Structure 1
Amino acid sequence: MNIPNQITISRILLIPIFMIFLLIDFNWGSLGILGAEVPVSHFIAAIIFIVAAGTDWLDGYYARKYNLVTNMGKFLDPLADKLLITAAFVGLVGLDMFPAWAAVVILSREFAVTGLRLVASGSGEVIAASIWGKWKTVSQIVAAAAVLLHNPVFALAGIPFDLIMIYTAVILTVFSGVDYFIKNKHVLTSAE
């Protein structure tokens, strides 16, 4: 297994650690971070989440730079992204920090596109991430991080940056999902 795929797997392995700090109240108090009161456990969860999300860029950069792009990587990378995002949004919904409707829309799109990829793989085709899919992922990561950190910086000015990013993530998620299905409709028509 090459280094980019190992980096991707490290992202998957960070998910349970992230969930422990997100969901267990360790009563370690809170931190004042640029206008936001953040429980220490949420701060640690946010750092783990941001590091895990950062590995998405790192594995892709390394794979392209050293020509180590593999079909396994093309499969594992979006899977790791979906697992991380799913864990974050389900955990945040469980803590009543993220709107359930937004999580359902986002996760429904993720399952639908994963299904499309599975159908395509049955005929030997790999559907790589599009630019809209990448922007969708970035918006979801920023939304989750803003919520995890209780809207730092913007809390000082009273700007609901976390809410703005949730809506941005939902819009980009829906748009990119529609884009995948339009560009790859041949996969579904040839599978009949």
Structure 2
Amino acid sequence: QLDLIKDQGYPEKGFVVTNANCVTTGLAMALAPLRKYGIKNIMVHSYQSVSGAGYPGLSSFDITDNCIPFIKGEEEKIEKEIKKILAINPEVYCYTVRVPVMFGHLEAVWLDLEQDVEVEDIIQDWADFKEVADLPSTPELPVEYGSDNTFPQPKYAFWGKPSGMVVYTGRLKKKNSKIGFLLLVNNIVKGAAGGSIQNAEAFVKRFGLI
């Protein structure tokens, strides 16, 4: 999608590359290798850590022992951005919830696909998936699946190499024609600063230094 900067007038003019919403970033990573199956509908519920609210963020009186079932503007961003990033046009149904966790956004996802796919195929697709090669901030395995039913959990958000840049998936299952799974994205690394660094590295690889 970096070629879109030409619509802004590059190279004759300057350009802006924005970072995606942190939930969208994790979702896009997990869905990218599945586009070949035809994604018709996406249902996603996110459970987002308090660090995603920034500083000073939420009052401790509001979030302690509590979940807040609304994050202003978040659902609209996810529904819009996932289509643009992956160049797809599914129906997207989304709820976002703020939970009393410091780091890491957990997402529960259900997909309607055009093709009939088995869970083994998706596990293999994640294992084979590569981002732009030869970028310093890109993990060797950008999406890692764990078969244990307790995986993934937010306490694993800083796992991986580089730390915090891996998207973890788990609880993959097929019910009727739908595919469901959970994913975990580090909202301050892969979903924020680290993702921005990757954008810069990808620009240099694609267009060279300015």
- TM-score w.r.t. the length of structure 2 is 0.29
More helix by share: 1
